[in-house]
Amino acid sequence: MQRGRIRRKLGRKMPHDHPADGHRHQHVSPDAGDRAVALAIAANVALTLAEIVGGILSGSVALIADAIHNLSDAATLAIAWGARRIARRPTDAMMTFGYKRAELVAALINYTTLVLIGLYLVWEAVSRFIAPEPITGGLVIAVAGLALLVDAATAALTYRLSKQSLNIRAAFLHNLADALGSIAVIFVGVAVLWFDWRLADPLVTLGIAAYILAMALREIRVVVRILMLGSPPDIAPEAVLAAMEAVDGVENVHHLHLWQISEDIVSLEAHVVTTANDLAAVARLKAALREMLAERFHIAHVTLDTETGAEACDDAGQAIGRSG
């Protein structure tokens, strides 16, 4: 059957079936994955508290900045943990598209907060340039060394999951970046302890703040684009339109809408003017279009409204989108 072939091809072709690096992953059970992420969250929260205390006792704003960044990673992991559980809920009469966008709403709040935190850290660093404060270098090195150990443990907990989840993979990569931040803070401690170079603290703080702002502003654009029903950045609507109109039996495609329900689910709807003159021919045309869209663009959620030339919409000339 044609539909059976389409389903089998979808099973092989969809990009979220395999990790980004192209290697097959070992499946992690939902419960085991939830436990691993929960442990990673607990480790990051404990590290955040330790770094805040260490930063206050040592007088290092760079250590507090790194603590805040670790807290943001704990929040990222918490979002991923919650999203894993929410995503497993079935669709219902209230949420007919499912619950996958709960993560996007939480991420929007999280990244907006991160922008404010980054700006606050810039203010603190500038204040330290103007009025430097004493720093206990040895304590800074000790707490940052602890941070490196926790970063390694968190990476180990999330590594396997990062192979099968884009959200966990992002958290995993942020954790690796945190390790670099901890190394930078250790540099501050060494610079103060050995050379009494106190300006290293606000300089590193500015670096951490710049990283937080760059990461938050980059990621928030992705979240806003999906929430605004934007087309996927790696799929050109014009290319999709041209490919659809090249299929035999298609005279015209208009009112094409292309959007993401979530990070890994792309949907398409369109009006198709066809030369097919019976229901069987229309069914074959729709099947051919769905197969082509799945193979070439990895679009599996497709809604097509077929029309004859005489029944075409008055504004059928508007190929992409629709006014009003």
Q: pLDDT tens, 79-111?
A: 778 877 887 788 888 988 888 887 777 778 777
CATH topology classification for 18-227: Alpha-lytic protease prodomain-like (1.20.1510)
What sections of the chain are H helices per DSSP? 2-13, 30-58, 61-87, 102-130, 137-162, 166-195, 200-227, 237-245, 279-297
Predicted local confidence at residue 9, as pLDDT: 36
Mean of the per-residue pLDDT values of the chain: 77
Predicted local confidence at residue 166, as pLDDT: 53
Predicted local confidence at residue 174, as pLDDT: 64
Residue 99 and residue 86 in contact, taking contact as beta carbons nearer than 8 Å:
yes
Q: pLDDT tens, 6-63?
A: 333 333 333 343 333 333 444 556 666 677 778 888 887 887 888 788 778 877 776 6
Is a pLDDT exceeding 70 seen at residue 73?
A: yes
Within a 10 A sphere around the Cβ of 269, how many other Cβ atoms? 14
Is a pLDDT exceeding 90 seen at residue 286?
A: yes
Within a 10 A sphere around the Cβ of 224, how many other Cβ atoms? 14
- Structure-block tokens of residue 219: 């990621």
Question: Mean pLDDT over residues 2-7, rounded?
Answer: 37
Question: What are the CA-CA distances from residue 92 to residues 30, 89, 99 (Å)?
Answer: 21, 9, 9
Predicted local confidence at residue 67, as pLDDT: 77
As annotated, the residues of the chain forming the CATH 3.30.70.1350 domain(s) are 237-311
As annotated, the residues of the chain forming the CATH 1.20.1510.10 domain(s) are 18-227
What is the distance, to the nearest Å, from the Cα of residue 170 to the centroid of all Cα atoms in its chain?
A: 6
pTM for this one? 0.68
Is a pLDDT exceeding 70 seen at residue 4?
A: no
The better pLDDT of the pair 245, 111 is held by 245
Question: Mean pLDDT over residues 201-211, rounded?
Answer: 81
Predicted local confidence at residue 185, as pLDDT: 74
Q: Domain 237-311's class?
A: alpha beta
**Could you tell me the sign of the dihedral formed by the alpha carbons of 45, 49, 50, 56, in that order?**
positive
Q: pLDDT tens, 313-323?
A: 766 666 777 65
Q: How confident is the model at residue 240 (pLDDT cuts 50, 70, 90)?
A: very high
Is a pLDDT exceeding 50 seen at residue 168?
A: yes
Question: Mean pLDDT over residues 300-306, rounded?
Answer: 91
The better pLDDT of the pair 229, 27 is held by 229
Counting Cα atoms < 13 Å in the Cβ hemisphere of 242 gives 5
Q: What is the DSSP string of 94-141?
A: S-TT-STTHHHHHHHHHHHHHHHHHHHHHHHHHHHHHS-----HHHHH
Predicted local confidence at residue 10, as pLDDT: 35
Cα separation, 91 vs 80, in Å, equals: 19
